[in-house]
Amino acid sequence: MGSISLKQVSKVFGDTTVIPGLDLQIEEGEFVVFVGPSGCGKSTLLRLIAGLEDVSGGVVEINGQDATRIAPAKRGLAMVFQSYALYPHMSVRKNIGFPLKMAKMDKAEIDKKVEGAASVLNLTDYLDRRPGQLSGGQRQRVAIGRAIVRDPAAFLFDEPLSNLDAALRVNMRLEISELHQQLKTTMIYVTHDQVEAMTMADKIVVLQAGRIEQVGSPLDLYHKPRNRFVAGFIGSPKMNFIEGAEAAKHDAAVTGVRPEHLSLSKTEGTWQGTVGVAEHLGSDTFLHLTVDGIGGMTARTSGEFDVHHGDRVYLTPRADRIYRFAADGNAIA
């Protein structure tokens, strides 16, 4: 059990409308990622689902039942916060067991469940420590442990990895994905990092200024962005946008080409440009170029491509991979 649906949900803080009213259906067992630039309302949306904020209008349904006016504790959801929000005065054992204690569960039962969760999360050796004595990654795992012991209808993650260093972030990302495979519980995950969104999600919800720009699987969004915003937001490095005469050739106000859809050559091609910065990663080469008559562009090619600052290179866009956008930003089919 764990389907959530939002019907015309809106949120207003004073004079500011954060979410003007949106509809969204989240199916049971799905891993849904809310992604968007900071201030787009994704955390607010999560807090509305959690019940930590009251909706200004609309209905939140959990498992088909109206939960709009139900207190957060009674919604059967568990949340992992960006700051971990562990109880500093309690041991790891008590932190993880706290929701069960609140549910008036039997002490022996609590111990059993806590130990179960701890072994899943490799926390068994740390059960008697306080959060202050743990590393960032361990704290994050305690926060997740506190969420899983409750068998919630859905997990809500609010940018849970943003306080971790890059290497740990990749590890935790995998751990959370594995956890989802194991538990098959609905998960809603908020992030501003599109790589996290692409790698973890079954379904991505791209938000901007409180509006849903597009909902779809990661590859849907990558291949068929509905508008220029989604096209620019999904994919790394960002899509190159070309305006003016070059775009007009394709009957569009703006055209877009992803860096990986530009083939590079030292001898021939459609466009010619000068290399500004060349990033040689071994597996890939990223070139930041100034293309004659167009401007700044980024190109990506796999493997090593031996050019340096100031070199001239040719670029050719893949004809079937040119995205076209109208003047209002919407994609032209």
Partner 1 sequence: MARATSTQRRWVVTIVAWSVGLLIFFPIFWTILTSFKTEAEAIASPPSLFAFEWTLENYGEVQERSNYFRHFMNSVVISLGSTLLGLIIAVPAAWAMAFSPTPRTKDVLMWMLSTKMLPPVGVLIPIYLMFRDTGLLDTRTGLVIVLTLINLPIIVWMLYTYFKEIPGEILEASRMDGASLRDEIIHVLTPMAVPGIASTLLLNVILSWNEAFWTLNLTAAKAAPLTAFIASYSSPEGLFYAKLSAASTMAIAPILIMGWFSQKQLVRGLTFGAVK
In this structure, is the dihedral angle defined by the CA atoms of residues 29, 30, 35 and 39, taken in order, positive or negative? negative
Question: Which residues lie closer than 8 Å to 197 by C-beta, 6 or more apart?
Answer: 33, 35, 189, 191, 204, 218, 234
Using CB under 8 A as the binding rule, whether residue 110 contacts partner 1 is answered as no
- To partner 1, the closest distance from the beta carbon of 53 in angstroms equals 10
Q: What is the 3-state secondary structure (H, E, C) of 195-215?
A: HHHHHHCCEEEEEECCEEEEE
* Helix, strand, coil shares, percent, the chain, to 5: 30, 35, 35
Sign of the four-CA dihedral 76, 79, 85, 89: positive
CB of 17 to partner 1, least distance (A): 19
What SS3 class is residue 42? helix
> Residue from 17, 28, 52, 295 that binds partner 1 (CB under 8 A)?
52
Closest CA to 211 of 19, 5, 14: 19
Q: Is 83 in the site for partner 1 (CB under 8 A)?
A: yes
- Does 12 participate in binding partner 1 (rule CB under 8 A)? no
CA distances from 320 to 132, 262, 298, 323 (A): 54, 11, 18, 9
Nearer to partner 1, 78 or 179 (CB): 78
Instruction: Out of 87, 171, 321, 332, name the contact with partner 1 by CB under 8 A.
Output: 87
Choice from 19, 35, 79, 197 touching partner 1 (CB under 8 A) = 79
- Which one, 74 or 310, has the nearer CB to partner 1? 74
| Interacting positions 149-208 with partner 1 (CB under 8 A) | 150
158 or 260: whose CB is closer to partner 1?
158
Read off φ and ψ for residue 144, nearest 5 degrees. Answer: -70, -40
**From the list 24, 60, 77, 134, which residue makes contact with partner 1 (rule: CB under 8 A)?**
77
How long, in residues, is the chain? 333
Candidate residues 42, 93, 146, 173; the one interacting with partner 1 per rule CB under 8 A: 146
- Beta-carbon contacts of 264 under 8 Å, excluding residues fewer than 6 positions away, are 287, 299, 301, 305, 313, 314, 315
CB of 71 to partner 1, least distance (A): 8
Q: Which of 15, 16, 71, 310 binds partner 1 (CB under 8 A)?
A: 71
Looking at residue 115, its amino acid is E
Residue nearer to partner 1 on the CB measure, 133 or 265: 133
Q: How far is the CB of 247 from partner 1 (least distance, A)?
A: 46
* Burial class for 283, CB neighbours closer than 10 Å (0-12, 13-18, 19+): exposed
Query: DSSP secondary-structure letter at 241?
Result: E
Distances (CA, A) of 131 to 110, 116, 148, 229, 323: 19, 19, 18, 40, 49
**Least distance to partner 1 from the beta carbon of 204, Å?**
24
CA 9/CA 69 separation, integer angstroms: 13
Residues 218-257 vs partner 1: string with x where CB under 8 A? Answer: ----------------------------------------
Site membership for partner 1, residue 144 (CB under 8 A): no
Taking the complex as a whole, the smallest distance from the CB of residue 47 to partner 1 amounts, in Å, to 8
| Binding-site member from 12, 39, 69, 103 for partner 1 (CB under 8 A) | 103
Q: Which stretch binds partner 1 (CB under 8 A): 16-24, 65-73, 189-197, 309-317?
A: 65-73
Q: In the complex, which residues of this chain contact partner 1 (CB under 8 A)?
A: 50, 52, 71-74, 77-79, 81-83, 85-89, 98-99, 102-103, 146, 150
